[in-house]
Amino acid sequence: MRPVVVAANWKMHTTPADAAELAATIAGRTRVDGPVERVICPPFVCLAAVRDALAGTGVAVGAQNVHHELTGAYTGETSVPMLVGLASWVILGHSERRRDAGETDALVGRKLRRAVEGGLRPIVCVGEQLTEREAGRADAVVGGQIRGILEAFGDGTPADLAADLTSSGTVIAYEPVWAIGTGRNATGADASAMADTIRRAMADGGLGSRAEAIPVLYGGSVTAANIGEFLAEPAIDGALVGGASLKPDEMAGIVARAGLTAEARAGERE
């Protein structure tokens, strides 16, 4: 059974002085009976403070990015080895990184390789622009992103690829770019259809039937009010939450709904 995951992306918000308190508050407000994996991804400067605040809470810490090399003359960058002891998850290829830093599918694939090799659990982001969706190209764009990332990930056999991505706990986050921070969001049916597209692309890219084991999250103006629509879709396994992840009440509502989904899915398997 695929896990249900709720990951908070704090982006460039909070400082070391206030991040610990916010993280602890969210951890306390999001305790649920259902087996939900909770992750908070603060800015780099807040990683240590959030790690300490979350110790013993069951909430994991993630980084928002990582470099594709292990070391070198890359001023201002952070490598996988530098994150050891600070984070156990990492967001890769977020649309804002693609937009602001020019990240490509090939670069995201190289970062994915480093994360997997270094023991970080990746959340790999894909998603289309509004013009691409309106042109009827959403499936082709997102499928192409998946294929490009997998091609750059490595040149091992398909069995190696499947083993690496499933054993590392890799997660895909579908983020329609037009829904990030805009107040707009895709429908549950839209997200479910794209999750199917993502898994087909992964299957064709070398994972075969093991693509069904890869969790797909929805990200894009997720709130406590709309999360139920997405989690009602069997193909959607949680959420990558942006602005709402800075609000304890919102996170409490989102994780509570995720807990109900996790319990229901676990019951269906019994």
Contact between 196 and 184 under an 8 Å Cβ cutoff? The reply is no
pLDDT at 4: 98
Element (H, E) at 192: helix 188-202
Residue 1 lies in a domain: no
pLDDT at 155: 66
pLDDT at 36: 97
- Compute CA distances 83 → 1, 27, 63, 89, 248, whole Å: 29, 21, 8, 9, 26
Catalytic residue among 128, 175, 233, 250: 175
Q: Is 68 a catalytic residue?
A: no
Residue 89 lies in a domain: yes
Question: How many other β-carbons are positioned within 10 Å of the β-carbon of residue 210?
Answer: 18
Q: Which two tokens stand for residue 75?
A: 């001023």
Catalytic residue among 94, 96, 103, 233: 94
Residue 9 lies in a domain: no
Contact between 29 and 251 under an 8 Å Cβ cutoff? The reply is yes
Pairing, β 89-92 against β 171-174: unpaired
Domain count, the chain: 1
Sign of the CA dihedral with 133 first, then 139, 140, and 143 last: positive
Three-class DSSP category at 208: helix
Pairing, β 36-41 against β 60-63: parallel
Of 167, 75, 72, which Cα lies nearest the Cα of 122?
167
Q: Which domain covers residue 144, as residue numbers?
A: 40-247
Cα angle: 184, vertex 190, 199; to 5 degrees? 125
Residue 102 lies in a domain: yes
- Write the CATH number for 55: 3.20.20.70
Residue 139 lies in a domain: yes
- Exposed e or buried b for every residue in 214-228, given b needs 16+ CB within 10 A? bbbbbbbbbbbebbe
Question: How many other β-carbons are positioned within 10 Å of the β-carbon of residue 41?
Answer: 27
Contact between 202 and 150 under an 8 Å Cβ cutoff? The reply is yes
pLDDT at 33: 83
Contact between 2 and 217 under an 8 Å Cβ cutoff? The reply is no
Residue 68 lies in a domain: yes
pLDDT tens across the length of the chain (270 residues): 899 999 999 999 999 999 999 999 999 999 998 799 999 999 999 999 999 999 999 999 999 999 999 999 999 999 999 999 999 999 999 999 999 999 999 999 999 999 999 999 999 999 999 999 999 999 999 999 999 999 999 867 788 889 999 999 999 999 999 888 777 778 999 999 999 999 999 999 999 999 999 999 999 999 999 999 999 999 999 999 999 999 999 999 999 999 999 999 988 766
Question: How many other β-carbons are positioned within 10 Å of the β-carbon of residue 15?
Answer: 11
Q: Is 212 a catalytic residue?
A: no
pLDDT at 1: 84
Residue 29 lies in a domain: no
pLDDT at 180: 80
Residue 257 lies in a domain: no
